[in-house]
Chain A
């Protein structure tokens, strides 16, 4: 009688609380602003076999990473002991994203039995490689992107392996930050390990394991119930990209399966925007979750009806040793592709296209006040798509992110050695509909150093966010560099020289509109005009008199 539904419920709540507790611990002790401020991190718990049981807040695209890492560790090691901590970052060795993202995982043992894993992932500022910050648009092989950690033990039964730690720090341009962040990650998996251990002791390992199983079964049941409500059939979309490539997806929905087929896509590229199979899988998981119950917890069971087909050697399933530093723009594309493919058929479940780019922006140089090297790594916010009876939200990170925060202008100026001249809604035309897309951003950085550089990679620049039901598409993402000799516009740029008083203007897209703009409520149009979001003459043209 010990496995009653009430005890199971209590254990499941505790699993969630533990993932959150690890998240809080890591955030508070991390050294790098991209972890503690931007929250480019995630935490999670898997069962003994590496199946996802619960996850903390953070980046949805990170949640599905941790189970894959643990599964790899399990396949590689046969001497897993209490007190061990493993580290990986390589997509062909249990990492999923790019080398900057270090995954730490720790087994949880009770009474000699492996019952679970605690794990986390976070973006580290520099892991070596050809460029400061480890990410370079010029990389053609993963070897140029930093130190590869093939799922090795960094702590052996509680004893730190100094050799691994030394190799790590020796390979970073920012060794203190790297070391501090790795220790924050170790502290976090240990917090979780202790808590789960106590929980399993209190309720017995048997009941604890039953709780994890039933939690996943519940996730599956909830997903299948929603799956049953989706339209059945095969849906296909081919979409041209900014660089002229054509991406393709076929989605087959049946009573008990949701199959996403990415096999018919271009070969992997020479540059760093390749995605790995696991990364593509996660993007499909995120969309599947949004369709089948965004408000229920995500665990292994939630994704059981999903199958993702890829072709090895393609941009969505890159082969070793492809460069993968900018993988995220391709992952965002695969997610958006499925969304665009299905939206016309489930217009109540999916909004129109959003700005759909991480808009990763890297600015660095010599800090004018301290003389030290600085690098800021900023994803950017943008506009989201409108939907049925739903106005798109403005200036929010893309759906790859969740609980992610921008850096306040006052902190950028006080700490990062540059000025922020403007941080405003982008009011350029685009995204109108019966319901309007949300607004993108205009952000102007003014450089204060003579040896600055800019690296950025934005998609959805030429091929703009897609509208629904007759709405207007979004305005497009781009970046401008304003120098005395003139203004240049970019969407991909690597290591561009910028110098004192040059202005880097980030412009992100509005979300796309939903429904015929002529049907927009008159009072809403008047309010838009008063708010300065649309000029009166354009309003007359787009929305009618």
Chain B
């Protein structure tokens, strides 16, 4: 069962949850984030909420952070040098030639992380089949090192053509770099990514080199402070592709942690879906500035193999979380043409929505909700008293501009936000050939419960589950993150029984390469996916293949059938063409000891007034009496309209829905 602590650093708050094995209790807390020194926020959260004896006996510290992401977004990383194949040093700047805004003749492309003077070339060429012509020379590398040293380069990325097919030249360059006296970090592109597309692989290697120093410093400082505070267990950080890895591996492969932050919610949703036996879930994480949606099928998040930050691609496993700029803080405004728009600009933490009374004057989604009574009588458990008059003043300015009553304008703000969020949900459901109506909505985050029935109505969904710890659910999710390591390699072959032998041998190599990374996970379970496509098409689907030990346990025909079935489900049609494999993906996964879910949130007195409030019903399109009820008082069934209050979140249940308490502290909301 194992006592464990999870800390998730967000833009505004650092959320903490711990599970105490001795009592079976899960405890939550929140402190403000310290942007300049995030580890101090972590330590502060632990000091404030975790008793010393729990810290001392805890076996795991699980962490989700945006340190790597912010380093990238704010361009605060190492000075990186790049070594490329002769003729290809400009790949990073040429990109793929696309332009994001089609009518904008003044569009700016993202500045490459490595300037041209630090992009240097070496001779030697590897071909697509792994054969080589010539080789990098020690002289060329030594010359490059002189330039790097003159420019204080602390981190070098090496990205040579077709290195996925044969890494020999990159390994040679690494040796020459050391021989020439370079002592900084070295990223070899084939180690971060075994796939073709030179721009994307180079971009991934450069990002890794760029965040490496910063990430290592941060993890070292954090681990040092945790040890000083008396923690003796294992330190783990979540990966962009789900699961977690040791701090030591994260220092070696920092590019895998770039999207560590938003993944916690998807991991938590997966664990919760398995717990309650739900086959198909859509998460709706509504925060202050953003809305994140993810699809959870059969208790697993959907994993992509490419992500993108600020127009820079990263080839690494990537939980498919779609984000849009719509949240509780999103601002409404008149667009100059008589229409109202909502977001993506946000009131942020300062000044926040007008109703927080900290000087905000533009109306935010939260102001509309407060004005409409969706948040209850006006006293939030977090201690904030809502200034409804301020919300009304802010809304009036926009209402006047679009010539609508304030009431309709407020309802409109919520409806527009809900419709934008629904469009994001459609991207991950109907666009993937799935029927959202048959699935369950899992809302969480500060404003998830507020939007739940609206989103379900937009999507014609019948069932909503508000999980326990909804307000800090991403941190809760970290508590259950399995340890995962992965590797992949491009290999284009027809899917035949003869080729399976080669796939098996590459898979064995990949597993060996993971194990060679140093500290590996004991008792890890290996799994294999093949990227498969119809001959002639480019887009592939990843097909899981059962294993017998480290051998493929199915004949080619069965794998092809599995692919066809997946293709039909995704695209609604199947083709009669041959099938080929383009990449092999290996994963090692070790589950953390299971935790006990019987505890539920600790009961704290909410101090809330209960009774009735006249709040706006989107079904009835007018105000109706809503019951106001603390979460702990929801028993076997309460019929909406009702507003449910708890420590860190509010759930708005419109007319036409019924809510009851589930077995694990969740709220089950169903139509009828």
Give chain A's interface residues, CB within 8 Å of chain B: 4-10, 12-14, 17, 21, 24-25, 27-31, 33, 36-37, 57-60, 176-177, 180, 183, 187, 195, 218, 221-222, 225, 286, 289-290, 294-295, 298, 350-351, 381, 384, 387, 390, 393-397, 399, 401-406, 408-411, 413-414, 419, 421-425, 441, 444, 530-533
Contact = CB atoms under 8 A, between A and B. Distances in A.
B404 A4 contact: yes
Interface string B483-510: 0000000001000000000000000000
Interface residues of B, number: 66
Interface string B123-160: 00001100000000000000000000000000000000
Interface in B178-208: 196-200
Contacts of A195: 430
Interface in B88-106: 88-91, 93-106
Given A187-B571, A393-B108, A403-B98, A13 B420 contact: yes
Nearest to A17: B423
Given A350-B105, A410-B197, A425 B408 contact: no
A395 B88 CA distance: 14
A290 B105 contact: yes
B423 A395 contact: no
Q: Which of B108, B340, B341, B536 has the most CB of A within 10 A?
A: B536
A406 B96 contact: yes
A444 B577 CA distance: 33
Contacts of A14: 419, 423
Q: Which of A4, A180, A384, A410 has the most CB of B within 10 A?
A: A410
A36 B539 CA distance: 8
B416 interface: yes
8 contacts: A5-B404, A17-B423, A21-B431, A393-B99, A395-B95, A425-B90, A425-B94, A533-B116
A413 B573 CA distance: 31
A187 B574 CA distance: 12
Given A9-B416, A295-B104, A414-B492, A409 B98 contact: no
Contacts of B99: 393, 396-397, 401-404
Given A294-B104, A531-B116, 12 more contacts: A5-B404, A6-B408, A29-B537, A36-B538, A180-B575, A401-B99, A402-B102, A408-B196, A411-B196, A419-B127, A425-B116, A531-B117
B98 A405 contact: yes
Contact of A29 (B87, B338, B571): B571
Interface of B: 87-91, 93-109, 115-117, 127-128, 161-162, 196-200, 336-341, 402, 404, 408-409, 411-412, 415-416, 419-420, 423, 426-427, 430-431, 492, 536-539, 570-573, 575, 577
Contacts of A60: 102-103
Given A13-B419, A381-B97, A403-B102, A222 B336 contact: yes
Given A9-B416, A222-B336, A532-B116, A404 B103 contact: no
A484 to B, nearest CB: 19
Contacts of B431: 21, 24-25
Contacts of A17: 423, 426
Nearest to B621: A1
B170 to A, nearest CB: 14
A6 B420 contact: no
A394 B419 contact: no
A401 B161 CA distance: 28
Contacts of B94: 381, 394-395, 406, 423-425, 441
A13 B422 CA distance: 11
A393 B539 contact: no
Contact of A405 (B97, B196, B430): B97
A33 B533 CA distance: 13
B426 A21 contact: yes
B330 to A, nearest CB: 14
Given A17-B423, A29-B571, A222-B336, A409 B161 contact: yes
A334 B327 CA distance: 45
B337 A13 contact: no
Nearest to A218: B337
Contact of A183 (B336, B427, B573): B573
B103 A410 contact: no
A410 B162 contact: yes
Contacts of A29: 537, 539, 571, 573
B88 A423 contact: yes
Contacts of A394: 93-94, 109
A423 B95 CA distance: 11
B449 to A, nearest CB: 22
Q: Which of B105, B128, B412, B416 has the most CB of A within 10 A?
A: B105
Given A21-B431, A31-B537, A390 B106 contact: yes
Given A396-B97, A422-B87, A351 B105 contact: yes
A410 B196 contact: yes
A177 B420 CA distance: 36
A37 B538 contact: yes
B85 to A, nearest CB: 10
Contacts of A390: 106, 108
Contact of B402 (A5, A27, A176, A531): A5
Q: Which of A29, A222, A290 has the most CB of B within 10 A?
A: A29
Given A21-B426, A294-B101, A351 B128 contact: no
Contacts of B116: 425, 531-533
Contacts of B107: 393
Contacts of A422: 87-88
A255 B420 CA distance: 36
Nearest to A388: B106
Nearest to B539: A28
A425 B103 contact: no
Nearest to B97: A381
Contacts of B336: 222, 225
A423 B125 CA distance: 14
A28 B570 CA distance: 10
B412 A4 contact: yes
Nearest to A397: B97
A31 B536 contact: yes
A368 B105 CA distance: 41
Contacts of B430: 21, 195
Given A24-B431, A532-B116, A222 B337 contact: yes
Nearest to B536: A31
Contact of B536 (A176, A290, A298, A425): A176
A25 B539 CA distance: 11
A352 B165 CA distance: 43
Contacts of A5: 338-340, 402, 404, 412
Q: Which of A25, A28, A425, A444 has the most CB of B within 10 A?
A: A28
Contact of B115 (A13, A31, A290, A531): A531
A290 B104 contact: yes
Contacts of B339: 5, 8-9, 12, 218
Given A36-B537, A60-B102, A60-B103, A424 B90 contact: yes
A337 B196 CA distance: 40
A402 B95 CA distance: 14
Contact of B98 (A177, A397, A531): A397
Contact of B97 (A6, A180, A406): A406
Contacts of A409: 88, 91, 161, 198
Contacts of A225: 336
Nearest to B409: A6
B101 A396 contact: no
B579 to A, nearest CB: 14
A413 B412 CA distance: 54
Contact of A9 (B341, B570, B572): B341
B408 A410 contact: no
A272 B538 CA distance: 31
B530 to A, nearest CB: 17
- Top 8 nearest A-B pairs (CB, nearest first) are A402-B102, A6-B412, A422-B87, A294-B103, A381-B97, A531-B116, A405-B96, A395-B94
B108 to A, nearest CB: 7
